[in-house]
Amino acid sequence: MFNVGDLAVYPAHGVGLVEGIEEKSISGTEHIFYVIRILDNDMKIMIP
């Protein structure tokens, strides 16, 4: 859906840059997360 370098809007935080796509294990199940850095405040979030 998104690629590294894409811009995306995250509600209540604004525009962010997709910096990476990571796979994490949670309770033994693998999940893929988008790592997004919000441009306005430099906050990083991970979205499944």
Full-model pTM: 0.86
Q: What is the pLDDT of residue 40?
A: 95
Model confidence over 13-48: pLDDT tens digits? 999 999 999 999 999 999 999 999 999 999 999 999
Q: Does domain 7-47 have CATH number 2.30.110.10?
A: no
Domain-wise residue ranges, the chain: 7-47
Question: 40, 42, 1: which is closest to 21 by C-alpha?
Answer: 1
Q: What is the pLDDT of residue 3?
A: 97
Please state, in angstroms and rounded to a whole number, the distance separating the CA atoms of residues 3 and 5.
Answer: 6
Q: What is the pLDDT of residue 33?
A: 98
Q: Per-residue b/e over 2-16, b at no fewer than 16 CB within 10 Å? A: eeeeeeeeeeeeeeb
Q: What is the pLDDT of residue 41?
A: 96
Q: What is the pLDDT of residue 36?
A: 98
